[in-house]
Structure formats: structure tokens, C-alpha cells
Amino acid sequence: MKRRTVLGLGAVAAAATALPVHAQRPPRIVSVGSAITEIVYALGAENMLVGVDTTSLYPEAARALPQVGYMRALSAEGVLSLKPTLIIATTAAGPPGALDQLKATGIEIMVLPDHYDYDSVVAKIAAVGKVTGKVAEADAMIARGRDAMKSLAATLARTTRHPRVLFLLSMTGGAPQAAGRDTAAAGIIKLAGGVNAIDGYAGYRPLTPESVLASNADYVLVTRQTVQAMGGRQAILDQPSLNRTPAGKAGRLIEFDTLLLLGFGPRTPEAATELAMALHPELARAP
């Protein structure tokens, strides 16, 4: 009987080794989570994919694959219709009932950690490399990523400045939400040498005008999709209270592609470095 496997950061190598080796035929993989899908493609194992979730928009080729729904609202029937032999997801996947239904069928389910730090990226790459038979490619990718993160750390060591960053996410039909603790936004801000301007709660919540002003944000960070949804850069900066923060007064707004910024996959070193240079222009100008 195959089983659902949950890998912790400290036990990734050992747990991955214990996974079944698909020596006779390649696995039929359903990938749940944009980072997992991106890793599969980056390792050159995309021929094993038979389906993805709706967050899997990069690379472009992934959009042509059958979709099994949003990663947090999976349909067991939709997944089973693709006849997968392996489902790879992160801890963000759900709902639990759908995962339990899939587990009951005997399909192998591998759930990988997603803690919004670079160690979890390494864990995901190593585990996906193991089950797809792309260990050498995974090792090389990890080595490149670690080198890039070490280079970034050395660069950030040249400054003692840690700007306060307010991340806003536009929500359909509601007010913009600000990222608190334990979010991908907070994680990437930390990697880039910034400080999340909101630390009074976890997850995303709408902010009161008083909270926006109290954030004392030096920069506003948004996705390009949020810029479009909220009517443009200036419309964001002109919001009441936000226009009275250091960021609003100076017009400091940084925009990124959503999956690049928040994906926590193979491109995270690129995203962290790009954001760091935007938050620390003095470092970008340094020889």
C-alpha cells in the first residue's frame, strides 16, 4: 500500500531515499503548487507531468496541461481522472478531505514543506529530484542557488539599513490585504534584507488607515496584478494614510511578477536579489 509522505526540513534526504523508485516506468505526476511545477520543469522532468493546479502558470508550457483546481480547493475526482501514480504537493494543499480521499485510493502522495525560507526551497528541489530520477540536476540547481544566496548575503552585509516594507495584495471584491507574519511576502522581504512593516498578526488582513500610518513603511511592495487591479501605481500611493507614510511621500513602490516574488521555487535567489537591490539602491550602485 502506498502512503502519503510528509517531509520535514530536517529529514528531507532520509525521507526522500525511502520513497519508491520508479525504475520500470516514469511516474504520472500531478503537481500541486506553482513551486513544485516550476521545479519539475527546471529539472527537465516535465514529460512526467499529467496535470497541475491552477497556480501553476510558469513556465508558459505548464498552462497547457490539464488542471485539477486551486491548490487549496482540490477535487479528488478531478485528480483521479488523470490516473496519476504520484501526487506532489506542498503543505498548503487541501482541503484535508480531498487529500484523505486520494490517500484512500493508494496513490502515492508526497507533501513537501513550504516555510517561506530558502531551506524549504532546497528541500523541495532535492525531493522532486529524487522521485523523478533527476538527482544530479537537482544537486546542481541547489548548488547554484546556494551560491547566489551566499553572494546576496555578502552584499547585504555591507549595509546596516533594513527598510520597512509593506506588502499589499489586492483581493477581489474587497479592500487590499496587507501581509503579516508567516507569509511568502514576509519571507522574501527578509531574504532581501528588509523588515516586514506588519508584524501584529499572521497571514493577510485588511488594514485600517491608522495601521497603515503606523506601519511607517519605507517601501510599498505589490505584484503587477495588484497594480492593475487597483488602478495603477499612483492610485496605490495616493490611498489615504498610505500617502502619509515615508513610502507614499517619496513614491517608493516596487512591483514584481507574483510567482517570481512569492513562488519560493528555483527563481527565489533571483527574486531575493532583485528585491534587495530595489530596497538598497546604494548597494546596487556600489562597485
What is the pLDDT at residue 286?
57
Reported as a single tens digit per residue, the pLDDT across 9-55 is 344 433 343 344 444 689 999 999 999 999 999 999 999 999 999 99
State how far the alpha carbon of 201 is from the alpha carbons of 115, 164, 170, 179, in Å.
17, 16, 18, 9
The amino acid occupying position 85 is T
- Rounded to two decimals, the pTM is 0.89
Reported as a single tens digit per residue, the pLDDT across 244-284 is 999 999 999 999 999 999 999 999 999 999 999 999 998 87
What is the pLDDT at residue 172?
58
Dihedral sign for Cα 261, 33, 65, 128, please.
positive
What is the pLDDT at residue 150?
98
Dihedral sign for Cα 52, 113, 277, 171, please.
positive
Lowest mean per-residue pLDDT among 167-171, 177-181, 210-214:
167-171
94 and 77 Cβ atoms separated by less than 8 Å: no
Q: Is the pLDDT of residue 236 over 60?
A: yes
CA distance 259 to 252: 22
Q: Is the pLDDT of residue 151 over 70?
A: yes
Pick 20 or 193 by higher pLDDT: 193
Q: Is the pLDDT of residue 93 over 50?
A: yes
Q: What is the mean pLDDT of residues 74-87?
A: 95
3-state secondary structure of 74: coil
Q: Which domains does the chain have, with CATH numbers?
A: 4-150 (3.40.50.1980), 164-285 (3.40.50.1980)
Q: Which positions ≥6 away from 283 have C-beta within 8 Å? A: 155, 156, 158, 159, 276, 277
Q: How confident is the model at residue 171 (pLDDT cuts 50, 70, 90)?
A: low
